[in-house]
Amino acid sequence: MQTDKERYLWLLSRLLSGDISGEEQRELEALTHADPQRRKESEWLQAYWKNNEEKGDEDSTRAAFARLTTQMNAADPALWPASDVKATAVIPENAGEAAEQYLAEEQAPPVKWYMLLARMAAAIFFLVGTWYLLDSTGLLPGREDGLRAEYNIRGTRSHIKLADGTSVWLNADSELKYPLRFKGGTREVYLKGEAFFEVTPDAAKPFIVHTETMHINVLGTSFNVKAYPGDKVTEATLISGAVEVQLKNQADKKIRLKPAEKLVVTNGKDSMQDQPQPGVPVISTATYFPKEDSAIIETAWIDNKLIFHDESFTSLATRMERWYNVSIRFENTTIQQLRFTGMFRNETVTQALEALQLTEQFNYRRGEDAIIIY
């Protein structure tokens, strides 16, 4: 099964070859717009390919196609026969020039088909080679200072191993930018969204996580950061070790967290009633669910659990959108204030909503582009 990146590369090669269908082009646009970094890369690759195509010639295109068919034949001879020569027809001596010309045309290789595939092959060779070469070195355009970007669309999670051995679990709808190699006296990464870090200790090189509202400085520890740009709050939850948090709007103030402590900072001007004023840091304890269990709500997503405790429907709906890759809208604002406690793991979004209906009364329907709660 193709990954999103592999599918994206294939569709982009179809676009460059001029053989993409309308449905495939719409799919390509959806994959491109789902990732802001991919949009930049797509524009650059198309411009680079156009320039490369203008400088190319038919011989190089045929050579690229020949390399592709050789590789396919070596991998599976039945998939791509080594010879595609038609049987030679016998032309009677008295057939005349017209018959000879007709049969010659019938037996001639389908040049248009050949060149179309050759053009596609050249596009694929160029794209895949260029992509992975630049991606492996962190030099794709749009990546500041050679930073590599890992982005998860909604409904997906991933694990990243950094050069120093640090492990990062990246949640849905999140982006992490990091260098392939850490240079200098620090190890710095940039996060939009949510991630859990298990940092390899190195007293000589502090590990720093940058978000829109705070810098988190650690030496070796495990912690969770939730910093979605559109959310009401930014959270840093320490599991083990020690971290020091510096707020961007209070550069002279540094806050140290102890294990099982959580720092919450309200973003923007529209703060919630149960949250402090914007920019004011509050330290609380990590939330366990249930009380006698060792599962921490803030990090349960790593174990593929969506746990919520006395959470408003508005907040839960936002998390469910990322978890299930759906859009949820409310027609009744009163329902947004309903509060829920529970856990989802393998349930579908329909099963999850039906489970919530067992504790609170509300209805829902599926629209063309969203689930409507009323």
Q: In the prediction, which pLDDT does 253 show?
A: 78
CA distance 242 to 203: 13
Amino acid identity for residue 17 in this structure: S
Q: In the prediction, which pLDDT does 103 show?
A: 45
pLDDT at 258 over 50: yes
Query: Which residues does 328 contact at the CB level (< 8 Å), separation at least 6?
Result: 317, 318, 320, 321, 370, 371, 373
**Alpha-carbon radius of gyration of the chain:** 28
Nearest to 231 by CA among 310, 312, 139: 312
31 close to 11: Cβ distance less than 8 angstroms: yes
Long-range contacts of 137-146, Cβ-Cβ distance < 8 Å, separation of 24 or more? 137/180, 138/179, 138/180, 140/41, 140/44, 141/40, 141/41, 141/44, 142/37, 142/40, 142/41, 142/44, 143/37, 143/177, 144/177, 145/179, 146/179, 146/180
pLDDT at 344 over 50: yes
pTM of the predicted model as reported, rounded to 2 decimal places? 0.60
Q: In the prediction, which pLDDT does 271 show?
A: 38
Residue 180 pLDDT class (50, 70, 90 cuts):
confident
Q: H or E segment at 313?
A: helix 313-324
Q: In the prediction, which pLDDT does 298 show?
A: 84
3-state helix, strand, coil in the chain (%, to 5): 35, 25, 35
Q: In the prediction, which pLDDT does 36 show?
A: 63
More confident of the two residues 275 and 183: 183
Q: Looking at residues 29-40, what average pLDDT do you find?
A: 72
Q: Name beta bridge partners: 224.
A: 196, 237
| Range in 12-16, 300-304, 327-331, 334-338 with the lowest mean pLDDT | 12-16
